[in-house]
């Protein structure tokens, strides 16, 4: 299983599916697409199955990027939302990533799946839900141009890209533990 992300899909489409054309506008995305093409070609030549799992924009769980860069910083009051935060993102709990990957591996076939929950939502809504549940002030926004100076243009362009993705295909082989970010965060936040 090759793990990629939703950033490889052309964002001009209303709803991203596994058949949405791919398009790169950053070096990071170009490398992901080229790696996938290389693996697809060579696995096909070798008679090997290759499935691709496209992860939602933000994987959240106990530890990792979510805890250190989002949760901890919201608690400390240092988290800032790049731009207006109204861009739509796709979220998935780490437990559902693991469960979905196991289901994909057990299929033993060449295929592709988008791994995200059933509730795409604006980034600011996701962040505000966390803040409300923690009882802390909602993070402020920062102009995207200023955020680009700190984090780099590619990172901010990827973060502020609005994309809504469908999880219909993976839902045919895996039953999500958390259908929405609200369910997942309600389970997770008391444990952090």
pTM here? Answer: 0.94
Q: Which two tokens stand for residue 37?
A: 């093409």
pLDDT on residue 57: 95
Total tally of structural domains belonging to the chain: 1
What CATH code is carried by the domain that includes residue 8? 3.40.50.720
Residues of the chain with pLDDT under 70: none
> What is the DSSP annotation of 49-70?
--EEEEE-SEEESSSHHIIIII
pLDDT at site 14 = 82
pLDDT at 160: 94
**pLDDT, position 3:** 98
Convert the pLDDT of each residue in 114-156 to its tens digit.
999 999 999 999 999 999 999 999 999 999 999 999 999 999 9
- Give me the domain span that covers residue 57: 2-191
């Amino acid at each position: 299983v090759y793990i990629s992300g939703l950033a490889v899909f052309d964002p001009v489409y209303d709803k991203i599916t596994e058949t949405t054309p791919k398009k790169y506008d950053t070096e990071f995305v170009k490398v992901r697409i080229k790696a996938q093409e290389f693996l697809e070609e060579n696995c096909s030549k070798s008679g090997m199955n290759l499935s691709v799992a496209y992860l939602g924009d933000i994987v959240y769980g106990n530890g990792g990027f979510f805890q250190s860069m989002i949760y901890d910083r919201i608690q400390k009051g240092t988290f800032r939302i790049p731009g207006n935060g109204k861009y739509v993102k796709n979220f998935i709990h780490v437990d559902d990533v693991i469960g979905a990957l196991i289901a994909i591996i057990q299929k033993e076939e060449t295929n592709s799946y988008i791994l995200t929950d059933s509730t795409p939502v604006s980034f600011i809504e996701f962040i505000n839900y966390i803040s409300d549940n923690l009882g802390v002030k909602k993070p402020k926004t920062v102009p995207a141009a200023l955020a680009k100076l700190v984090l780099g243009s590619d990172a901010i362009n990827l973060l502020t890209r609005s994309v809504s993705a469908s999880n219909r295909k993976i839902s045919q082989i895996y039953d999500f533990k958390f259908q929405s970010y609200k369910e997942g965060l309600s389970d997770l936040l008391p444990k952090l």
